[in-house]
């Protein structure tokens, strides 16, 4: 009999431990979701929808940030910066890459090797960002000025012959306004939507009506969900069987 | 005689500044461009960003201006069809654009049309069949360039105050 009672108690204990574990796990999941207390927009707005017009002049500007050590994503209030950095640099084994973006006045990519006193112009277009890549450096270029709206990504890398060169990887759908890396992938966002380059440099583009909402930040969590910060909204892209589903969130008072 | 600048409403919002929409239409392209340039000049001075708009011609010959826009960038502003096409009425045709320089990060303090301005004018001429680009510089001078007619940009008389 004591053994039977002990077994019953053991079963109950196990059940309680399981329930507690599930509660903690689900609570943790909820607390890890940066959009827990946000309002979901039931239907995705289309280009020039009233919601987007309201967002264009909204006081709320949301920025998504990922903690480098915990990978936790947080959402912060942001502001449109008065000016932008127009030069980017990266040390490579061939010298320093210097990219410039002077808007309508042009820009370029220069390789500067102080040791040998050499300077070589690699690109004659506005350089927005340089990102280290396993086989070299990814170079993002683009310009949005008057009727011109273009963007591209290039790879500066060493070939099998040991020589370094730059080659275009892909054209992008318009100029990206923000470029960042997360989970080993590269993300870009602009007025036409989101671009994602995976580790094999395969490009996925998701068209979204961002012309009026000024996307300012983008990151990807460990589950592959992409978060974009912008005027009035945070948009989350969730991997689906084909492509992504799009979720739009806002806070009370941001749209009026 | 110089036209009066648009009344500019100073509002604190996400853009930090919001220009009053221009009157709906003008008798001719120059009137529309000068009015847009006045509004843009004020917006540029208030924000430190470039602002711009597209010009369009209605079927009755009147000329309109799309709402002024900015990309929060001191060195460029997009007024491509993707960004302004929604504001061009049905039946109207795009005939040009207007924008303002900040003078930041430019070799000539933004006083003249840039390589990007001249390149855009040629590209848009090919796309739309007609194109006049107007630019208001930090001194309030307005430059005009129509690549189909002008060998180089032309400085218009007067100055935006």
Q: Tell me: the pLDDT tens digits for B97-129?
A: 999 999 998 899 999 999 999 999 999 999 888
How close is the nearest chain A Cα to the Cα of B145, in Å? 13
* Cβ neighbourhood burial of A52 (10 Å; 0-12, 13-18, 19+): buried
Structure tokens at A241: 């069987």
User: Residue A214: its chain B contacts at CB < 8 A?
Assistant: 14, 71-72
Tell me the average pLDDT of chain B: 88
User: Residue B75: its chain A contacts at CB < 8 A?
Assistant: 84, 86, 101-105
A162 CB-near residues (< 8 Å, 6+ apart): none
More confident residue, A172 or B24: A172
Instruction: State the pLDDT at residue B9.
Output: 34
Cβ B75–A102 below 8 Å, yes or no?
A: yes
Whether residues A90 and A155 share a domain: the answer is yes
Pick B29-155's CATH classification: 3.90.1150.10, 3.40.1190.20, 3.40.50.300, 3.40.140.10.
Answer: 3.40.140.10
Cβ B74–A101 below 8 Å, yes or no?
A: no
The percent helix, strand, coil of chain A (3-state, each to 5) is 15, 50, 35
- How would DSSP label each residue in A181-228? EETTEEEEEETTEEEEE-TT--EEEEE---TTT---EEEE-TTS-EEE
Whether residues A116 and A234 share a domain: the answer is no
Q: What is the ipTM of this complex?
A: 0.88
CA distance A180 to A38: 24
Instruction: State the pLDDT at residue A19.
Output: 55
How close is the nearest chain A Cα to the Cα of B61, in Å? 23
By CA distance, what is A100's nearest residue in B?
B105
| pTM more than 0.90 | no
How close is the nearest chain A Cα to the Cα of B62, in Å? 22
Cβ A59–B83 below 8 Å, yes or no?
A: no
By CA distance, what is A79's nearest residue in B?
B14
Q: State which H helix or E strand residue A10 sits in.
A: helix A2-32
Q: Parse chain B into domains and list their residue ranges.
A: 29-155
Of A140-154, B4-18, B134-148, give the lowest mean pLDDT range.
B4-18
Size of interface A-B (CB pairs under 8 A): 114
Instruction: State the pLDDT at residue A25.
Output: 47
Q: How far is CA B73 from its chain centroid?
A: 15
Whether residues A10 and A50 share a domain: the answer is no
Instruction: State the pLDDT at residue A34.
Output: 93
Cβ A147–B97 below 8 Å, yes or no?
A: yes
How close is the nearest chain A Cα to the Cα of B60, in Å? 25
User: Residue B17: its chain A contacts at CB < 8 A?
Assistant: none
Structure tokens at A208: 């979204």
Structure tokens at B160: 């935006």
By CA distance, what is A103's nearest residue in B?
B75
More confident residue, A112 or B10: A112
Ordered alpha helix ranges (H), B1-154: 29-47, 81-84, 115-128
Whether residues A46 and A112 share a domain: the answer is no
Cβ B80–A81 below 8 Å, yes or no?
A: no
Whether residues A99 and A156 share a domain: the answer is yes
Nearest to A61 among B12, B14, B78 (CB): B14
Looking at the predicted structure, is the pLDDT value of residue B38 above 60? yes
Whether residues A150 and A211 share a domain: the answer is no
Instruction: State the pLDDT at residue A48.
Output: 83
Q: Which domain holds residue A210?
A: 41-80+179-256
Cβ A104–B124 below 8 Å, yes or no?
A: no
Whether residues A244 and A209 share a domain: the answer is yes
Q: State which H helix or E strand residue B136 sits in.
A: strand B132-136
Instruction: Map residue B67 onto helix, strand or coil.
Output: coil
Split into its structural domains, chain A has a count of 3
By CA distance, what is B117's nearest residue in A?
A104
* B-interface mutation test, from A125, A147, A231, most B Cβ less than 10 A away: A147
CA distance A211 to A206: 14
Which of A137, A172, A207 terminates a domain? The answer is A172
Per-residue CA distances from A2 to A5, A14, B160 (Å):
5, 18, 98
CA distance A173 to A111: 27
* Cβ neighbourhood burial of B145 (10 Å; 0-12, 13-18, 19+): buried
Which of A172, A203, A220 terminates a domain? The answer is A172
Whether residues A74 and A87 share a domain: the answer is no
Whether residues A86 and A167 share a domain: the answer is yes
Instruction: State the pLDDT at residue A232.
Output: 97
Instruction: Map residue A103 onto helix, strand or coil.
Output: helix
By CA distance, what is B44's nearest residue in A?
A82
Structure tokens at A128: 């927005």
Whether residues A88 and A53 share a domain: the answer is no
Question: What is the pLDDT tens value at each position of chain A, 256 positions in all?
Answer: 445 555 565 666 665 565 555 444 444 444 579 999 999 999 999 988 999 999 998 999 999 999 988 889 999 998 876 666 689 999 999 999 999 999 999 999 999 998 888 999 999 999 999 999 988 999 999 999 999 999 999 999 999 999 999 999 999 999 999 999 988 899 999 999 999 999 999 999 999 999 999 999 999 999 999 999 999 999 999 999 999 999 999 999 999 8
User: Residue B18: its chain A contacts at CB < 8 A?
Assistant: 57
Instruction: State the pLDDT at residue B128.
Output: 87
Q: State which H helix or E strand residue A170 sits in.
A: strand A164-172
Structure tokens at B127: 């796309």
User: Residue B120: its chain A contacts at CB < 8 A?
Assistant: 145-148
Instruction: State the pLDDT at residue B15.
Output: 53
Instruction: State the pLDDT at residue B1.
Output: 34
């Amino acid at each position: 009999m004591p053994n039977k009672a002990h077994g019953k108690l053991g079963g109950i204990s196990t059940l309680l431990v399981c329930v507690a574990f599930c509660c903690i796990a689900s609570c943790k999941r909820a607390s890890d979701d940066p959009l827990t207390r946000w309002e979901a927009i039931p239907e995705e707005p289309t280009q020039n929808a009233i919601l987007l017009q309201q967002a264009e002049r909204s006081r709320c500007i949301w920025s998504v940030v990922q903690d480098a050590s915990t990978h936790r994503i947080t959402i912060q209030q942001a502001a449109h910066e008065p000016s932008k950095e127009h030069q980017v640099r990266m040390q490579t084994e061939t010298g320093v890459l210097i990219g410039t973006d002077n808007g309508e006045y042009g820009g370029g990519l220069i390789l500067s090797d102080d040791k040998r006193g050499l300077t070589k112009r690699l690109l004659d277009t506005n350089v927005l960002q340089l990102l280290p890549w396993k086989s070299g450096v990814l170079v993002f270029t683009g310009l949005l000025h008057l009727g011109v709206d273009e963007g591209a990504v290039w790879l500066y890398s060493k070939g099998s012959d040991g020589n370094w060169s730059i080659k275009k990887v892909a054209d992008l759908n318009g100029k990206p306004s923000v470029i960042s890396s997360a989970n080993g992938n590269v993300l870009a966002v602009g007025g036409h939507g989101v671009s994602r380059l995976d580790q094999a440099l395969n490009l996925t583009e998701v068209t979204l009506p961002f012309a009026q909402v000024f996307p300012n930040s983008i990151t990807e969590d460990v589950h592959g969900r992409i978060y974009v910060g912008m005027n009035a909204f945070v948009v989350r892209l969730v991997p689906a069987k084909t492509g992504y589903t799009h979720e739009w969130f806002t806070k009370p008072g941001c749209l009026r | 005689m110089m036209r009066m600048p648009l009344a500019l409403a100073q509002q604190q919002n996400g853009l930090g500044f919001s220009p009053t929409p221009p009157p709906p239409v003008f008798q001719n392209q120059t009137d529309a461009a000068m009015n847009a340039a006045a509004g843009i000049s004020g917006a540029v001075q208030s924000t430190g960003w470039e602002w711009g708009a597209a010009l369009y011609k209605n079927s009755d010959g009147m000329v309109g201006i799309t709402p002024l826009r900015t990309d929060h960038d001191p060195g460029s502003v997009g007024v491509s069809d993707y960004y302004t096409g929604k504001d061009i009425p049905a039946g109207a045709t795009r005939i040009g654009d207007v924008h303002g320089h900040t003078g930041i990060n430019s070799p000539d303090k933004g006083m003249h049309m840039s390589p990007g301005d001249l390149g855009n004018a040629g590209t848009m001429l090919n796309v739309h069949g007609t194109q006049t680009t107007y630019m208001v510089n930090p001194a309030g001078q307005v430059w005009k360039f129509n690549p189909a007619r002008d060998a180089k940009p032309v400085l218009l008389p007067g100055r935006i105050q």
